[in-house]
Every structure is written in structure tokens, then in C-alpha cells.
């Protein structure tokens, strides 16, 4: 069965899930989903940074604010928003375990390419 891993802001803010903007997270089907910015920083970390810097918004208007399942945030952070969403699109029928394998493989390929580039 396919799993819900990420909901883009365009999706969640136009549904009943829009209430999450007041809490920063929600629980669906036993999984916790947290708002993250395009770098994968969660809303709680961003709020603390914004408060410390005297900014009004944790995530500035116009910046993506996706709702990501907590156990996938590390992949979102390592791959970046666009690549993360592309992997999800390319693997629509995969379950969460299969997706984790795919994400780990991609991250390992990136690390290997980076190490190869450093050696050359």
C-alpha cells in the first residue's frame, strides 16, 4: 500500500489540514507530519531562529512549507525539496519501506560521486 510521505503547501493549505499552520504538526494514521521549509528545517527550529533574529515569520511568505512525515524529514533535508518530490513522483506506488531504500540508494550515490570528485 502506498504511503503518504509529503504534502506540498499548495495541497495541505487548501484542505482541512490547513489548521496545521497553527500547530506546526499533525498526526495522521499514527504518523507525525511536520511543516518544513525547502531546506528541510522544521517549523519549530525555524520559529526559534526567527524569534532570535527578530523576524516576524518562521517561513517567509512565498517560501515552500511542506508537510513531511517525520521519519522522512532527513531524506528531504539531504536531497532538497525538488529532488525529494521527484523521487516521490517517480515511485508513486512504493510503500514507505521501499521509499526509504530508494532514498538511501540515491543518497549513497550522491556521496560516492562527491567522494570520487574529491579524489580526482
Between 21 and 114, where is the model more confident? 21
Q: Does a structural domain hold residue 1?
A: no
If one counts the domains in the chain, the total is 1
CA dist., res. 75 & res. 52, Å (int): 27
CA dist., res. 40 & res. 54, Å (int): 21
Q: Does a structural domain hold residue 39?
A: yes
Q: Is the pLDDT of residue 45 over 90?
A: yes
Range of 92's domain? Answer: 6-119
The pLDDT, as a whole number, for residue 113 is: 85
Mean pLDDT taken over the chain: 92
Q: Is the pLDDT of residue 115 over 90?
A: no
Q: Does a structural domain hold residue 56?
A: yes
Q: Give residue 118's pLDDT band: very low, low, confident or very high (50, 70, 90).
A: confident
CA dist., res. 84 & res. 70, Å (int): 14
Whole-prediction pTM: 0.88
**Cβ contact 7:33 at 8 Å:** yes
Amino acid at each position: 500500500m502506498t504511503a503518504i510521505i509529503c504534502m506540498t503547501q499548495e495541497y495541505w493549505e487548501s484542505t482541512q489540514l490547513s489548521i496545521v499552520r497553527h500547530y506546526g504538526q499533525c498526526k495522521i494514521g499514527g504518523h507525525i507530519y511536520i511543516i518544513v521549509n525547502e531546506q528541510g528545517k522544521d517549523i519549530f527550529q525555524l520559529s526559534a531562529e526567527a524569534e532570535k533574529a527578530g523576524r516576524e515569520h518562521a517561513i517567509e511568505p512565498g517560501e515552500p512549507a511542506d508537510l513531511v512525515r517525520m521519519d522522512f524529514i532527513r531524506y528531504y533535508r539531504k536531497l532538497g525539496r525538488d529532488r525529494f518530490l521527484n523521487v516521490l513522483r517517480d515511485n508513486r506506488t512504493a510503500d514507505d519501506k521501499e521509499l526509504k531504500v530508494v532514498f538511501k540508494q540515491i543518497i549513497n550515490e550522491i556521496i560516492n560521486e562527491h567522494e570520487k570528485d574529491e579524489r580526482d
